Structure 1
Amino acid sequence: MRTKVGIVGAGPAGLLLSHLLHLRGIESVVLEKRSREYCERRVRAGVLEQGTVDVLNEAGVGERMRREGLPHHGIELRYGGAGHRIPFEKLIPGRSITVYGQQEVVKDLIAARLAAGGEIHFEVPDVALHDLTGSPYITFQGERLDCDVIAGCDGFHGVSRPAVPEGELTFFEREYPFAWLGILARVKPSAEELIYARTERGFALHSMRSPEVSRFYLQVPPDEQVENWPDDRIWAELKARLETVPGFTLETGEILEKGVTPMRSFVTEPMQYGRLYLAGDAAHIVPPTGAKGLNLAVADVRVLTQALDHWYRTGSTELLDAYSATCLKRVWRAQHFSWWMTTLLHTFDSDDAYGRRLQTSYLDYVTSSDAAATTLAENYVGLPW
């Protein structure tokens, strides 16, 4: 087998890269170890930046997103018994977010690739990368796929990043002393926009996936077991952390899924080695507080598509050589924003009265100063390309 771009991973990064390359006449093959059903059902991120929405629309895969996605023009910061809205439409005119589940983006991209005759191989075991600084190729299941370049889009635990020889990459990371217990519930959202709540009991997030399905998160200890959280306990704790302003009542209902997500920050430098280019979670992880993971993946593959297109059209490797440096500018900005949102809203050491006072002081500043609120809004909706 031979192709121009071998893509490892059929998540949003790999699928979108394959589709964007197809639109430019560049062939690719996508290899994925999981089943199609798993990829299309795995619930992950749900907040799309303005730039991500624009890319999906420009790529011709945004029809269902425009029909079913939920545009939001603000978020609420809830603390100290009051809610404070950050109005995107006032602070960043013309830019907003869209709530549309990552699994829905994956469904749209798979359908588009298959409709165009794209090659996506699911349930592919034993993927390995070879000769990354020469003539790269991928082996799997007794097969060999030769390619001009390889795109590692297979996530934090994938095979792409470990294929780079030890010492060639530098890792920057931070683990947080808590995790998120997340649930998906068949219940109408109790608010029209996302609510980020800081309380002495810990952080809580009220989100949504559709007019009938809501998404919630609770700050829990890093080693928490989901078995310790029966449905009644989850709803009781969500009420305690969200029903802190007059007149707000949290709707409850059937819980469809629940799971515990560790919180970490991670960056690989550089994001390339030889003819291997890392994108998305294979290169960087952010805590989900800033809603940047999926959006960074889209930004990465947008840059990589432009670089590959330039190389195939002109023979120049200028943009490919600059891929890592170009992506890392946005990556580190998103890392800082995600770290800042996380430290601003979560409960850390219960004895750290000084730290809690600092959090409250900065929340007061963000919710009373247009300058500070604009900084939050600009980063949240996504910096321009």
Structure 2
Amino acid sequence: MNAAGEAEHITMLRETLRRFIDKEMPRDSVSRWDKENHFPREVHLKLAELGLTGLTVPEQYGGSGRDITATIVTIEELCSRSMAVGCAYIQSSCYAGLNLVEVASDAQRRELLPRVASEGLMFAYGFTEPDVGADLASVRTTARRDGDELVIRGSKRFCSGAAISDFIYALVRTGPAEERYRNLSLVLIPPHAPGVTLEAQDTLGLKGGGTFDVTFDDVRVPVANVVGGEDGIGQGWAKLVGPGLDVEKIEVAAMALGIARGAIADAWTYAQERVQFGKPICTIQSIRHMLADARTRFEACRLMTYNAAALIDAHQPAAVETAMAKLFVCDTARDIVLSCQQILGAYGYVRDFDMERYVRDILVMPILGGSSAIQRNNIANLLKLPR
């Protein structure tokens, strides 16, 4: 273990990632990707070449074996520089890799997991609908069987990364709506298949992969595209709420952690370089206190995130800890970034400075992947607080 309590292979991974970021993700390029809403696919492919998209893939399928802590480290490091790259990495290693390992059929694992490891194959989540948010059991998108095909009709909202992904990992209804939890299925839908319409949403942040409204107008896919194969029909709810849900919470925490770390680093440097009244502003007590608080709160966020990751790696129950981490880290990281913006003053509001991008990106973190209100409910329920 090093001074930060990290295993040697994790420290080496961080060093590798930081060299990669300096070379392949320079600040001027990241700024351009953000302004142009551009996804740098070539950078994503280089991550796959390094084996990083295989951190959730078993060795038998070409990966390095499941290592959640290493995956979370990778998310944090990438998101400290670029959400365009960091979000795509999650869509590959987590949305595709973890879900395929946990709930796919053997045939789907053999076909798709090697592509995750070697090509960075990506899934986009198609869960939310215009009238369905947290209550996913109420989805209205339907899939009707017609021979060896499913005919899909409906719509999805906030489908991030749909246009750059290989498949939309969609939750659909395959039976009567009255039996809410028994007639749901997960289906892999190619985003550019006939009958699929993607309509981009103009979001405040998270530029690069894009967020889309998706319409399915009698889209046909093979029954083999049901996650889990034929046996997966009607089993979507059980597959949706499996162990991967815990990992998703700390994926978002790691994103927030990365953004906060980038903001602290920039504020720390700026405070030493910015001179007012003949002295660097880091000599002003109020600025020193803001920076000290930011570093302190960041350390608490780091410990919560990696404690939850360690529990998952050890195959220990982690539902409470992941919900707490998601809640605390995302809310705290937002406050950290906003305080760092204040340190930069007017420059923190100018698009030529990365701080402005950190602010836009961090604001969605308490909402993404289950809002802070939902996490508070989850924590109270998991700890069996009487209703």
Q: Which TM-score applies when normalising by structure 2?
A: 0.28
In the superposition, the TM-score normalised over structure 1's length comes to 0.28
Higher relative strand content: 1
| Structure with the largest fraction of helix | 2
